[in-house]
Structure 1
């Protein structure tokens, strides 16, 4: 069975289309510049043309083989029919050979059907490739002004050798800009964090300042109370000093009196003072002993008779 060129290329395009569509989707997914995509589409068109030429050659070879095989099959069928006519007596053996030949023919027909399906698939694939080619050509036409613009820019920039270097430089600048924007966002985030931290520190400082003010007020109250107590104790200390001065003066007078009495006792006894001037207790003890002796001596003296009183006189009290 003859297969047309259109059907063969349609099947071939259907076979290759999934891979091509996948590659096209992967390339479209990348953020490539238009010029690079234009160059890639041109390369894809060249690849598609090359694959079409290769598939055309394979198709011609396959069709020639199929034609030769069909001729061989027709010749074998003619030989089998002639053998049935010429060798009727060998019907049983020829029937067996015919069965084998029919099986082989059925297998070859099955193979021919498979090849026919392959041809249909290649034709569908070819049609898909043709549609993809038309789409790429339309896109190439849309991107052609960009290519011309890049060519003029390349002429004005002698430091770049070709468009790919210019696009690479643009990509590098775009990546640098993206990195700088990322760094700027990070720095802004850090600034916001530091501002929040500064606000927290300010709030903490206000709370601490309020607490210190309250503590200062409490300490001032305690200071005023301490000052009042100091004034009270100072007044008490002045009072104690005055009392101590009075007591000291009284003690000095008492010691002087005790010393004078001790000296009088010594003069009365006609004895030199045997005690130290500062020994007030010893002096008082000597004065006490002297007074006791004097009291005992006075007690041993006879008591005088009381005078006779008249009728109008009252009794004088005893001294």
Structure 2
């Protein structure tokens, strides 16, 4: 989009600047007048470019808003589809649950009927037992009389209230004992859990302290290594600088000696100015030639010189 905008502004700008004043009128204008006219044209072109840029920005914002609205509509449509799919799945699940529930209810009816038959049998058995117990009650009238005497001495009005109170107290005592046992077991469990947690935290603290000591040692070693390598690097940089300076001096001295021997560096047959090895070879050949000449002169007969 930025590339199209740039091409558009460039085209409009070139079209505005390409408009020229007729040659006859331009010949009559002075340089200052033509300069003012050009400035006016440039100002108008800038205003038009600004207007086109604003219109383009508005269009771009409108397109961006439309795209956002389309994305929102698409998200809403997706959500609606997901909700509809979920609704269908829930309906299928409800229908399946309804069928299962009906089947369970039929089974429950059958079970209830069987239970009714079983309860009828139990009622017959209980009726026979009641008759037996009635005989025992009649035989145990002595105990009943004793309960009535106790009832007259207590605040209760009926024997059944006294027996119910006694059973309630016994049940309460058993429940309190059971609750005490459960609470004691919970306390023992919590005490053991606390001890295990304390031991774990102690082990973790020792481990962390050891790890901290190890990491501190590694940090100290790393700092020591860093200082040692930094010192070596500074030494390398210092040595390299000295060697570079010495190399430059050697190259300058070699070049001077090469020139003193009559060597050339600015001709086709000469040696390159930075080819130090070739210059040294030339200097070596020159020294050998001079040494040979000196040896030849020193070995010549003196009588040959007089002649």
Report TM bin, short chain. Answer: 0.3 to 0.5
Higher normalized contact order (CA 8 Å, seq sep 6+, divided by chain length): 1
- Normalised by the length of structure 2, the TM-score is 0.43
* Higher-Rg member (1/2): 1
- Normalised by the length of structure 1, the TM-score is 0.41
